[in-house]
């Protein structure tokens, strides 16, 4: 059997810098854990525009459809701000998400003990936190028709439509239940069934899908209460599933419970392929950070943790994902910090490459 395949798209700004560190990690798993991947690399975003005049070439798109997982750095930068909307770097990422039909966006909020002081919440509220928000990504109010700004009488009206079909709700619910099965068998679905018909349907369909997962403890919550509960006592949750709009807001809120943008990974999953693996794109939440690009200051951990998610959700290597996350935990506990993780007490930050090397060393020590 051939090795599982990964397409790496470093992109722009700090994307290539953090991806260099991920390559070290991937190589480590090949050399030390007998987990070899077929890795290929291509261009996306501004880097692709510079070479091909488009932010994602057709051949790259075709490759992304074939591999087991795509790993993306970041796209964009001031150099490309003048470009026409149709060829902006972000369009490359949007094309990937759309054509791969990645309907489930996974955003973990995980607190690394050494960084618990970073949170705006009390330490005991966030210490040990490990939750996952599943946001529906391809439908809902960002896509529903009718939409637009229309004349109505002597004024204008702005319209967006929240629209969900049963099958759209069902597939993201199923993804969330599958995830809950791999984690702690606890799922909370959030909508506003009290004031929105789409929410009533959402709750009905999620409940029905839940009948296929009797081992998962399912609960429902109104999304506004969910926001309150997330900042009050986030550890009451394990997996949360919600729609595109609520998920956009709730996942950003949950992410900030635990600190720096340089620490946040994500995954976007689609339908299962022939080999049973879901279509998948893994990427850090942060952008191309032009303010620090090219200076060796970027924190590679968000991108490294995105690869840990790939190990867990694309390659069924949960134990190896745990190993990688533990290595990150160890390095942070040792006080190793990139500049974005420096607290008020100061200290000397390490470079992007040094952080990658320390994590590799911690992986070695884990054997």
Residues involved in catalysis: 142, 192, 224, 248, 252
The neighbour count for residue 149, using CB atoms within 10 Å, is 9
Calpha distance 363→307 (Å, rounded):
14
Cβ proximity to ligand NAI, 172 vs 264, nearer residue: 264
- Shortest distance, position 280 Cβ to ligand NAI, whole Å: 16
- Shortest distance, position 81 Cβ to ligand NAI, whole Å: 7
Q: Is 72 annotated as ligand-binding?
A: no
Binding window for Mg ion (CB under 5 A); candidates: 14-22, 237-245, 249-257, 283-291? 249-257
The partner in contact with residue 95, picked from Mg ion, ligand NAI, none with C-beta cut-offs of 5 to 8 angstroms by kind, is: none
Cβ proximity to ligand NAI, 243 vs 340, nearer residue: 340
Name the residue number minimizing CB distance to ligand NAI: 287
Contact (Cβ atoms closer than 8 angstroms) between residue 94 and residue 70: no
Calpha distance 180→212 (Å, rounded):
13
Structure tokens at 183: 């984690």
Cβ proximity to Mg ion, 105 vs 314, nearer residue: 105
Q: Is 77 annotated as ligand-binding?
A: yes
Helix (H, G, I), strand (E, B) or coil at 150: strand
Beta bridge partners of 208: none
Instruction: Note the Cα 286 to chain centre separation in Å.
Output: 10
Calpha distance 316→276 (Å, rounded):
11
DSSP notation for 25-43: HHHHHHHHSS---EEEE--
Binding site for ligand NAI (CB under 6 A): 14, 74-77, 90, 93, 261-262, 283, 286-292, 298-299, 302, 340
The partner in contact with residue 76, picked from ligand NAI, Mg ion, none with C-beta cut-offs of 5 to 8 angstroms by kind, is: ligand NAI
- Shortest distance, position 168 Cβ to ligand NAI, whole Å: 23
Binding window for Mg ion (CB under 5 A); candidates: 27-35, 98-106, 169-177, 245-253? 245-253
Alpha helices in the chain (DSSP H): 15-32, 46-52, 58-66, 89-99, 123-126, 166-182, 197-210, 223-232, 244-255, 301-313, 318-333, 352-365
Total residues contacting Mg ion (rule CB under 5 A)?
A: 2
Contact (Cβ atoms closer than 8 angstroms) between residue 119 and residue 84: no
The partner in contact with residue 77, picked from Mg ion, ligand NAI, none with C-beta cut-offs of 5 to 8 angstroms by kind, is: ligand NAI
Mutual angle of helices 166-182 and 301-313, in 10-degree steps: 100
Calpha distance 333→286 (Å, rounded):
23
- Shortest distance, position 207 Cβ to Mg ion, whole Å: 28
The partner in contact with residue 261, picked from ligand NAI, Mg ion, none with C-beta cut-offs of 5 to 8 angstroms by kind, is: ligand NAI
Cβ proximity to Mg ion, 38 vs 252, nearer residue: 252
Q: Is 107 annotated as ligand-binding?
A: yes
DSSP notation for 232-269: H-GGG-SEEEE-HHHHHHHHHHHHGGG--GGG-EEEEE
Q: Is 317 annotated as ligand-binding?
A: no
- Shortest distance, position 295 Cβ to ligand NAI, whole Å: 10
Going residue by residue from 250 to 269, which x/- string records binding to Mg ion, judged by CB under 5 A? --x-----------------
Cβ proximity to ligand NAI, 250 vs 255, nearer residue: 255
- Shortest distance, position 59 Cβ to ligand NAI, whole Å: 21
The neighbour count for residue 150, using CB atoms within 10 Å, is 10
DSSP state of 110: E
Cβ proximity to Mg ion, 47 vs 109, nearer residue: 109
Rg (CA), the chain: 21
Beta bridge partners of 109: 131
Contact (Cβ atoms closer than 8 angstroms) between residue 234 and residue 129: yes
The partner in contact with residue 117, picked from ligand NAI, Mg ion, none with C-beta cut-offs of 5 to 8 angstroms by kind, is: none
The partner in contact with residue 258, picked from Mg ion, ligand NAI, none with C-beta cut-offs of 5 to 8 angstroms by kind, is: none
Annotated binding site for substrate: 97, 107, 135, 224
Contact residues for Mg ion, defined by CB under 5 A = 248, 252
Residues at the binding site for Mg(2+) are: 224, 248, 252
Residues marked as binding for NAD(+)?
77-90, 287-299
């Amino acid at each position: 059997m051939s090795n599982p395949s990964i397409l790496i798209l470093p992109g722009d700004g700090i994307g290539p810098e953090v991806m260099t560190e991920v390559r070290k990690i991937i190589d480590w798993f090949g050399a030390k854990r007998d987990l070899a991947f077929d890795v290929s690399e291509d261009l996306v975003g501004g880097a692709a525009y510079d070479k091909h005049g488009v932010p994602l070439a057709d051949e790259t798109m075709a490759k992304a459809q074939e591999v087991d997982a795509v790993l993306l750095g970041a796209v964009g930068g001031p150099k490309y701000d003048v470009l026409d909307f149709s060829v902006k770097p972000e369009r490359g990422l949007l094309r990937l998400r759309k054509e791969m039909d990645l309907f489930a966006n996974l955003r973990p909020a995980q607190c690394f003990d050494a960084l618990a002081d970073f949170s705006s919440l009390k330490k005991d509220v966030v210490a040990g936190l490990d939750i996952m928000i599943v946001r529906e990504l391809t439908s809902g109010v960002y896509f529903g028709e009718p939409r637009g700004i229309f004349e109505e009488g002597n004024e204008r009206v702005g319209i967006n439509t929240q629209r969900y079909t049963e099958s759209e709700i069902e597939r993201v619910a199923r993804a969330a239940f599958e995830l809950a099965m791999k984690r702690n068998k606890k799922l909370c679905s959030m909508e506003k069934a009290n004031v929105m018909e789409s929410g009533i349907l959402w709750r009905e369909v999620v409940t029905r899908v839940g009948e296929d997962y009797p081992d998962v403890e399912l609960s429902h919550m109104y999304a506004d209460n969910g926001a309150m509960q997330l900042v009050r006592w986030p550890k009451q949750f394990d997996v949360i599933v919600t729609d595109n709009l609520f998920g956009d807001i709730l996942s950003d809120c949950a992410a900030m419970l635990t600190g720096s943008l340089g620490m946040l990974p994500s995954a976007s999953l689609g339908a299962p392929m022939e080999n049973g693996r879901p279509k998948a794109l893994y990427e850090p939440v942060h952008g191309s950070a032009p303010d620090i690009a090219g200076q060796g200051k970027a924190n590679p951990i968000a991108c490294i943790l995105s690869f840990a998610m790939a190990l867990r959700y694309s390659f069924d290597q949960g134990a190896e994902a745990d190993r990688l996350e533990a290595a990150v935990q160890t390095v942070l506990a040792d006080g190793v910090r990139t500049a974005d993780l420096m607290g008020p007490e100061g200290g000397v930050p390490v470079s992007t490459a040094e952080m990658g090397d320390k994590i590799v060393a911690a992986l070695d020590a884990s054997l």
